[in-house]
Amino acid sequence: MRSRPLPDLPGPQAPAREWVAYDLAARGERASDLAVALCHGDGRVREAVLCAGVPDELLPLVVLRCADWAGPVREAARRVLTGARPEALVRAAPVVLHAAGRKRGEAALRLLEARLAEGDTELRECAFGHPRHEVRRWAYGRAVEHGWLPPEQLAHRAVRDPDVVVQARCAKAALRTPPAPEGAEVLDVLLGARSASVRAIAVTALRRLGQPLRAVDWLTDRSSSVRACAQWAVRQGGGDPLAHYRGAAAEATGRAGPSVVAGLGECGGPGEVALVLPYLSDARPGVRAAAVGALRMLGAASPERVAPLLDDPSPRVVRRVCDALLSDAETLSPEALRARLAPDRPRHIRLAAIRLLAIHRGLAPLRAGLTLVGDRDQDVRTRARALVTRWAPPDSAALAAALPAGERARLTAEIDHAAPVLGPSLARFLHWILQ
């Protein structure tokens, strides 16, 4: 008697792991239907089913049988697969790619490659539009290798496909050879892509295509990776990205966008600090976050300048401030950070305070963690428990010994209160340190 029910039969385009799980689960079943019989523990049963014929919806199981340990079963499965409709084989591609990693499992993959190479455009489109990203990656890899798609189509696929690997693969292939004058659409399509990785590839290619200064238009891209590629391309063409950012900031005094502010930090030096500082109080959260990041890159994000923004209403700004203050966290007042842990403070401010307290030495992280291990917010509870669990400064015993009696009693009570959450082992360890 089986210990768990047999799972439902997966759909034809289901992930390979679902078909493998079904195959393993059905090994000990009676051959009540074709699917179960294809997974039967007796190889003669499996072979008989394959010789009798298998419908297309069970082709993924036939693919698994192509890597069967029993030679007669393998041969029968390969005959079935050879006679299968190409469209059905493409639908089973997730299992084909999975089985290719098994011993004796490469036969199905060779057959799939041959069918695509011989097939028409419609069959290849089935592979290019497959719902599983691993199939699309493999199919576009074959298309690039064998030249099945012209650069114009590759560019449009790079823009439309949601998978970043497919996007990069198609974009690079589309730009592999310099486009003809009438094929300039390829570059324009890629430069206008929504995906930052595709735009970065296209901007980087501008230098190789002899148009490096055209990258000036992407110096203010919303993506830092695209801006970095544009800055490099402009420099390669003899331009000065910093001059562009300075000009943009001067032209829109007090109204520069986040990309311009970020660019001043990415390309500037100490002289740009004065240009960036006013934007710490900008009304736009994105600009304030960019200003904090720019000051950090310029080495000017001192606690005096950015710590007040730990109370910013924008989570994005507070995350940037927290990143900038990590190296100076011990200079911040533990009491001020603990005050930001109050339940009525915004969640993003509380999480940032916990992160900064974790850098502190002494008893501040322990006390903050003990206070919050029972908090209503799961993320706060998790990080608070981590504060307590990881608290082990080298001088922990000396810190505990230096505590006044009243403080020691209060800390002992806090440990006892948190013990049900911390567990007996951790609570005993903390009590032992306080002895």
Indicate whether 223 belongs to any domain. yes
Whether the Cβ atoms of residue 407 and residue 413 lie closer than 8 Å to each other: no
Q: Do residue 55 and residue 145 come from a single domain?
A: yes
Q: Which amino acid is at 55?
A: P
Whether the Cβ atoms of residue 111 and residue 89 lie closer than 8 Å to each other: yes
Q: What is the pLDDT of residues 144-189, one digit of tens each?
A: 999 999 999 999 999 999 999 999 999 999 998 765 654 578 999 9
Q: Do residue 80 and residue 145 come from a single domain?
A: yes
Q: For residue 3, what pLDDT is reported?
A: 43
Whether the Cβ atoms of residue 328 and residue 296 lie closer than 8 Å to each other: no
Whether the Cβ atoms of residue 31 and residue 45 lie closer than 8 Å to each other: yes
Q: Do residue 70 and residue 136 come from a single domain?
A: yes
Q: For residue 2, what pLDDT is reported?
A: 44
Indicate whether 322 belongs to any domain. no
Domain boundary among 135, 160, 185: 160
Q: Do residue 130 and residue 233 come from a single domain?
A: no
Q: Do residue 13 and residue 134 come from a single domain?
A: yes
Q: Among candidates 152, 127, 156, which has minimal Cα distance to 141? A: 127
Q: For residue 408, what pLDDT is reported?
A: 85
Q: For residue 178, what pLDDT is reported?
A: 61
Q: Do residue 40 and residue 134 come from a single domain?
A: yes
Residue-averaged pLDDT of the chain: 91
Structural domains of the chain, count:
2
Q: Distance between CA 90 and CA 105 in Å, rounded?
A: 16
Q: Do residue 133 and residue 219 come from a single domain?
A: no
Domain boundary among 115, 138, 160: 160
Q: For residue 416, what pLDDT is reported?
A: 92
Indicate whether 145 belongs to any domain. yes
Q: Do residue 141 and residue 75 come from a single domain?
A: yes
Indicate whether 398 belongs to any domain. no
Q: In the numeric block, which tokens belong to residue 366?
A: 């322990």
Low-confidence residues in the chain, pLDDT < 50: 1-3, 31, 182
Whether the Cβ atoms of residue 182 and residue 209 lie closer than 8 Å to each other: no
Q: For residue 129, what pLDDT is reported?
A: 95
Tokens 């069959």 appear where? 123
Q: For residue 406, what pLDDT is reported?
A: 86
Whether the Cβ atoms of residue 19 and residue 13 lie closer than 8 Å to each other: no
Q: Do residue 30 and residue 128 come from a single domain?
A: yes
Which residues neighbour 124 within 8 Å (Cβ) at sequence distance 6 or greater? 116, 139, 143, 148
Q: Which domain holds residue 135?
A: 1-160
Q: Do residue 86 and residue 12 come from a single domain?
A: yes
Whether the Cβ atoms of residue 231 and residue 219 lie closer than 8 Å to each other: yes
The full length of the chain comes to 435
Q: For residue 183, what pLDDT is reported?
A: 54
Q: Do residue 138 and residue 226 come from a single domain?
A: no
Indicate whether 379 belongs to any domain. no
Q: Which amino acid is at 248?
A: A
Q: Distance between CA 136 and CA 148 in Å, rounded?
A: 14
Which segments of 332-404 does DSSP mark as H helices, in order? 334-339, 347-357, 364-372, 378-389, 396-401
Q: For residue 1, what pLDDT is reported?
A: 36
Q: Among candidates 261, 263, 257, 262, which has minimal Cα distance to 232? A: 263
Whether the Cβ atoms of residue 292 and residue 324 lie closer than 8 Å to each other: yes
Domain boundary among 241, 270, 300: 300
Q: Do residue 106 and residue 228 come from a single domain?
A: no
Q: For residue 217, what pLDDT is reported?
A: 96
Phi-psi label, residue 53: left if phi above 0, alpha if psi -120 to 50, beta otherwise = left
Whether the Cβ atoms of residue 99 and residue 105 lie closer than 8 Å to each other: yes
Indicate whether 56 belongs to any domain. yes
* pTM, entire model: 0.83
Indicate whether 389 belongs to any domain. no
SS3 content of the chain, % helix, strand, coil (to 5): 70, 0, 30
Q: For residue 179, what pLDDT is reported?
A: 58
